[in-house]
Amino acid sequence: MNVIKNLKLLELNDLEIYSAINGEEKREQQGIELIPSENYTWPEVLIANGSILTNKYSEGYPGKRYYGGQEFTDRVESIAIERAKKLFRAEHANVQPLSGSPMNQAVYLSFCKPGDTILGMDLSHGGHLTHGAPVSHMGQIFNFVRYKTDPENNGKIDFDELLKTAKEKKPKIILCGYTSYPRDLDYAAFKKVADEVGAVTMADMAHIAGLIAGNAMKNPLDFGFDIMTITTHKSLRGPRAGLILCKKKFAKQIDKSVFPGLQGGPHMHTIAAMAVALGKAMQPEFKTYAHQILKNAQALAQVFLNNNVKLITNGTDNHMMVIDTIKSFNIDGKTAEQTLDKISVTVNKQTIPDDPNPPLKPSGIRLGTPAATTRGMQEIEMQKIGAWIINGLTIYQDENKLREIKKEVEAMCLQFPVPGI
């Protein structure tokens, strides 16, 4: 399992793929990763994810497989399940979803029939593609209705309006969670609305799973939520996978929805890597890390606010923020993303609430602090990063000055190695 030895073997046998991987290693080391859904995993996770467990088919669940030879795969999956339950204070855990999309699909298909209504956050206000975007299959199968945030009130959700919508539309599921919403959520208020209309409560915590695990942000399950879905590769620093946590009374229908309803054989190498990440998240130092992510986000947001940069929701409660680049720099989000690439700062273009511009050329960018925090960067580095971003987007047409900023960024990055590289 010597990673360096295995990479050498790849270099000798497939130079094209080796070169691409090597190029990505250099890109990650030399630049600052600020896409809030990306992170650097532990070297031990990489080892487990690249292990011989990838050879094994394990359709079914521990103790109830369709193929033989499951002694060690049963052990791996059982460990992952128990760690997930303990870490998130859950009654049941399904660790088999291959990623975020199928984990959410499995929940929808477990509780809803085609045409049933699901109430979730408006996509331009922070909701996710898997929350019923019209271009998604789920958006075509189910009737997704939306609630919005109030941009004039720091992005708060109007629960009186949400209750009104729930009573009118009678959703089977009330879904909270986000991909670009910089505020915390009032889970008790969501639960109250759901109870009043008889809906299942579902929280998609893909982004902040690590912050919940590290006790830096609230856990929806502590507020009586029925379902919580998470991806393990974002703030949790695990492999690219999904995980469903639920009340015990829903365990059988969730498990049946994942397999055989939606998937075949689970990816046992990924489940092993997930178990490793869950074990890491149980350590005391992970709590320190999770809280530092929030401190760094506050520090970075303050740099922007101090320089009259328009932040959607006027600040952040979590690990991310969204900049209105039209109001702040008079450039669209695509141009901003491409400009920051030139100075080795990676962000993603992002729609803003009720964005008049198209998704591929929106009015904002989204950025967050988990990956930079993983490398050991703290508040003082966030101040430098914020200044580089403002400077770069202000002089975005001056290629010479952008090259100068790029040198400064890459010089700082050399002081903070990427784990596993």
Instruction: Check which CATH number belongs to the domain holding 93 and give it.
Output: 3.40.640.10
The answer to whether residue 53 scores a pLDDT higher than 80 is yes
- What's the token pair of residue 183? 């505020």
The chain-wide mean pLDDT, for the chain, equals: 96
- Binding site feature residues for (6S)-5,6,7,8-tetrahydrofolate: 123, 127-129
Task: Report the CATH number that the domain containing residue 304 is assigned in CATH.
Answer: 3.90.1150.10
14 in any annotated domain: no
Whether residue 253 is found in the same domain as residue 324 = no
Whether residue 193 is found in the same domain as residue 232 = yes
Average pLDDT score over residue span 150-167: 94
Whether residue 232 is found in the same domain as residue 299 = no
Q: For this structure, is 59 an active site residue? A: yes
- Point out the domain boundary residue: 251, 281, 311: 281
The answer to whether residue 352 scores a pLDDT higher than 80 is yes
pLDDT number for residue 149: 94
First CA to last CA across the chain, in angstroms?
Answer: 16
Whether residue 240 is found in the same domain as residue 115 = yes
CB 350 within 8 A of CB 182: no
Q: Which of these, 90, 64, 58, lies nearest to 76 by C-alpha position?
A: 58
Q: For this structure, is 231 an active site residue? A: yes
Strands in 320-324's sheet, in edge-to-edge order, are: 320-324, 364-368, 348-350
Q: Choose, from 148, 234, 280, 349, the residue flagged as catalytic.
A: 234
Whether residue 112 is found in the same domain as residue 246 = yes
Whether residue 155 is found in the same domain as residue 89 = yes
Q: For this structure, is 204 an active site residue? A: yes
pLDDT number for residue 4: 57
Query: What would the pLDDT profile of 254-305 be if each residue is shown by its tens digit?
Result: 999 999 999 999 999 999 999 999 999 999 999 999 999 999 999 999 999 9
Whether residue 222 is found in the same domain as residue 104 = yes
Q: Which of these, 420, 342, 320, 341, lies nearest to 375 by C-alpha position?
A: 420
Query: What would the pLDDT profile of 205-249 be if each residue is shown by its tens digit?
Result: 999 999 999 999 999 999 999 999 999 999 999 999 999 999 999
Whether residue 399 is found in the same domain as residue 299 = yes
Query: What would the pLDDT profile of 14-34 be if each residue is shown by its tens digit?
Result: 999 999 999 999 999 999 999
240 in any annotated domain: yes
Strand partners, 324: 364
- Tell me how crowded residue 8 is: count the other CB atoms within 10 A of its CB: 12
- Point out the domain boundary residue: 222, 257, 281: 281
1 in any annotated domain: no
pLDDT number for residue 169: 97
Whether residue 176 is found in the same domain as residue 307 = no
Q: Which of these, 267, 395, 296, 383, lies nearest to 340 by C-alpha position?
A: 395
pLDDT number for residue 151: 83
Whether residue 265 is found in the same domain as residue 310 = no
Q: Choose, from 231, 346, 351, 369, the residue flagged as catalytic.
A: 231
3 in any annotated domain: no
356 in any annotated domain: yes
The 8-class DSSP code of residue 258 comes to I
Query: What would the pLDDT profile of 101-148 be if each residue is shown by its tens digit?
Result: 999 999 999 999 999 999 999 989 998 988 988 889 999 999 999 999
pLDDT number for residue 3: 56
The answer to whether residue 392 scores a pLDDT higher than 90 is yes
Q: Choose, from 59, 158, 379, 410, the residue flagged as catalytic.
A: 59
The CB-side HSE value for 111 (13 A sphere, CA atoms) comes to 22
CA 146 to each of CA 124, 128, 200, 389: distance values in angstroms, whole numbers, following the listed order? 10, 12, 16, 33
267 in any annotated domain: yes
CA 105 to each of CA 11, 173, 180: distance values in angstroms, whole numbers, following the listed order? 39, 12, 20
- Binding site feature residues: 123, 127-129
Q: Choose, from 146, 169, 240, 342, the residue flagged as catalytic.
A: 240
Whether residue 346 is found in the same domain as residue 272 = no
- What string of DSSP letters covers 81-102? HHHHHHHHT-SEEE---SSHHH
297 in any annotated domain: yes
pLDDT number for residue 133: 87
Q: For this structure, is 288 an active site residue? A: no
- Point out the domain boundary residue: 246, 281, 316: 281
Q: For this structure, is 183 an active site residue? A: no
Whether residue 275 is found in the same domain as residue 342 = no
CA 333 to centroid of chain Cα atoms:
20
Measure the CA–CA gap between 225 and 6, rounded to whole angstroms.
44
- What's the token pair of residue 81? 């399940």
Q: Choose, from 25, 57, 186, 192, the residue flagged as catalytic.
A: 57
Domain count along the chain? 2
- What's the token pair of residue 353? 């609430």
Parent domain of 370: 289-413
Q: For this structure, is 240 an active site residue? A: yes
244 in any annotated domain: yes
